[in-house]
Copies of this chain bind each other. A is one copy, B any other.
Amino acid sequence: MYDWDELLSPYKQAVDELKIKLRSIREQYERTSKHTPIEFVTGRVKPVTSILDKAKRKNIPLEEIDEKMQDLAGVRIMCQFVGDIDTVVDLIRMRTDFEIVEERDYIKNKKNSGYRSYHMVLRYPVQTISGEIQLLVELQIRTLAMNFWATIEHSLQYKYRGEIPSNIEKRLQRAAEAAFRLDEEMSQIRGEVQEAQEIITRNREQ
């Protein structure tokens, strides 16, 4: 039997370390009383059943899982505003504790399903008791509304094994539009809030 625990435990370690590291970004912004671009951070190792499903679907042999499956370790950053996503991407690019091997912008180019999110694949070094190993971690950056919709879509995809009936797919798209609309309205207010803050700051300095 395949020793999943041995394969996956460094990935769990990577996720735990990255959650601690990325959450500290939020704390740093809060400490300096600036608008924090990060609302919260989650992470998970892909469940074994999902790995097997995906390996079968994409025809990946078990020995090549760690090279060919880029989302064994997944970390997700949620933002309040669409505009925060760029700030987060810049912060990630600046770091020296991992290497970025790929970026995919599903916000500028949203998927047909309505899926929006910014993806990065990182090569992250983990220290084990037998030495350093490097492994791939998928980082997803999205707004709360994008995340909300994506969660629902994911469960429906899972349930219908990728073949969502067209009437349900239509409703799902209407929900995607509502989520998009919410992000748009929020972006409008973001501008207001920042303008307002600038006015307040200017008034205070006089």
Residues of A within 8 A of B (CB): 5-6, 9, 13, 16-17, 20-21, 24-25, 27-29, 31, 80, 91, 94-97, 125, 127-129, 131-132, 144-145, 148, 151-152, 155-156, 159-160, 168, 171-172, 174-175, 178-179, 181-182, 184-186, 188-189, 192-193, 196-197, 200
Which of B29, B144, B152, B197 is the one whose CB lies under 8 Å from A80? Answer: B152
Of B27, B156, B159, the contact of A9 (CB 8 Å cutoff)? B27
As for how many copies of this chain the complex holds, the number is 4
Q: What are 23 A-B contacts with C-beta separation under 8 Å?
A: A9-B27, A17-B21, A21-B127, A28-B128, A80-B151, A95-B132, A96-B125, A96-B132, A97-B125, A97-B132, A145-B182, A148-B186, A152-B189, A155-B193, A159-B193, A168-B189, A172-B189, A174-B188, A175-B185, A178-B181, A178-B182, A179-B182, A182-B182
Distance between A47 CB and nearest chain B CB, rounded to angstroms: 12
Q: What are the nearest 10 A-B pairs in CB distance?
A: A175-B185, A178-B182, A178-B185, A178-B181, A95-B127, A13-B24, A28-B129, A96-B132, A168-B192, A144-B148
Chain B residues within 8 Å of A80, by CB:
148, 151-152
Assuming A127-B96, A189-B171, is B182 touching A148 (CB within 8 A)?
A: yes
